[in-house]
């Protein structure tokens, strides 16, 4: 679902360049994301995906160019308030304590890894956490401990954690990392569900694999060597010739029954 060009973008990068230690990581990157759009960001290792995700999460600042998030320009906005409107799902979540699933979800309200000392959720916040746990397919497991969860259960708990603060933007950083095929499919079904349960939410998913793209993905940005190869509606971007260009390898792209796949393009 696109909110249309007349609305303020949720994310807007305009001629963004980023340099680190004298090396150019990104070169003149421009694209915009609107409410309700679901983007996938693809490209080989070192293409600049993590850096762009850092811009989207208000964690990284451009060397030149501008980044606007939720109508606010990075460098001219109070960051903590802005970050509270952005949900971030990272499968490498560094939690070590045996918190329950419900407690993990509640840490999304405080933006912390552990439960904050002397902080107590309200009854309404507890109800909301339990509703999200049920919504994301973890009903009956709300008191299971983080240390005993499967990687797939952790992924769904982290999505619930990101959603509890009602963000306008959801960032999914390689959410299928470490999942077997069944857990991956369950996670993708969960992500697809958000299109109907959170219709105004914009999202950006980073992956290396076309098979990990949710069916509800509406747009894509394809990166190579820190530059945009293509950005726009997913069916216009994920084409054999453009993916081949980005990955510098002959790749045949197929789209069937709502899902994407890729394999080496064999000469005819």
Entry pTM:
0.92
Just give the CATH number of 1-85+168-268.
Answer: 3.40.50.300
Give pLDDT tens digits along the chain (268 positions): 444 445 899 999 999 999 998 899 999 999 999 999 999 999 999 999 999 999 999 999 999 999 999 999 998 888 888 888 999 998 889 998 999 999 999 999 988 899 888 889 999 999 999 999 999 999 889 999 999 999 999 999 999 999 999 999 999 999 998 899 999 999 999 999 999 999 999 999 999 899 999 999 999 999 999 999 999 999 999 999 999 999 999 999 999 999 999 999 877 6
DSSP state of 42: E
Just give the CATH number of 95-166.
Answer: 1.10.8
Q: Which two tokens stand for residue 74?
A: 């990075």
Q: Which residues of 23-43 are buried (b: 16+ CB within 10 A; e: fewer)?
A: eebbbebebbbbbbbbbbbbb
The residue whose two tokens read 């349960």 is 197
Parse the chain into domains and list their residue ranges: 1-85+168-268, 95-166
What sign results for the dihedral spanned by CA atoms 73, 79, 85, 88?
Answer: positive
H-helix segments, the chain: 49-56, 79-83, 101-110, 123-135, 151-163, 181-197, 234-237, 240-247
Q: Give the tens place of pLDDT for each residue, 1-21.
A: 444 445 899 999 999 999 998
């Amino acid at each position: 679902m696109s909110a249309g060009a007349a609305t303020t973008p949720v994310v807007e990068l305009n001629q963004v360049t980023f340099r680190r230690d004298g090396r150019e990581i990104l070169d003149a990157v421009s694209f915009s994301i609107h409410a309700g759009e679901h983007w996938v960001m693809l490209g080989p290792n070192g293409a600049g995906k993590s850096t762009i995700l850092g811009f989207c999460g208000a964690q990284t600042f451009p060397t030149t160019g501008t980044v606007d998030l939720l109508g606010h320009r990075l460098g001219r906005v109070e960051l903590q308030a802005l970050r509270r409107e952005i949900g971030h799902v990272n499968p490498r979540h560094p939690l070590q304590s045996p918190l329950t699933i419900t407690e993990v979800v509640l840490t999304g309200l405080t933006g912390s890894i552990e439960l904050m000392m002397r902080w107590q959720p309200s009854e309404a916040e507890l109800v909301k956490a339990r509703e999200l746990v049920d919504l994301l397919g973890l009903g009956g497991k709300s008191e299971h401990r983080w240390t005993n969860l499967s990687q797939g259960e952790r992924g769904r708990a982290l999505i619930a954690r990101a959603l509890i603060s009602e963000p306008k933007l959801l960032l999914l950083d390689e959410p299928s990392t470490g999942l077997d095929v069944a857990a991956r499919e369950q996670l993708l079904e969960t992500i697809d569900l958000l299109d109907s349960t959170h219709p105004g939410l914009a999202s950006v998913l980073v992956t290396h694999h076309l098979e990990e793209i949710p069916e509800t993905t509406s747009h894509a940005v394809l990166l190579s060597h820190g530059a945009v190869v293509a950005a726009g509606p997913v069916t216009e971007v994920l084409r054999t010739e453009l993916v081949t260009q980005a990955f510098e390898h002959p790749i045949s792209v197929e789209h069937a029954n709502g899902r994407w796949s890729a394999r080496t393009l064999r000469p005819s």
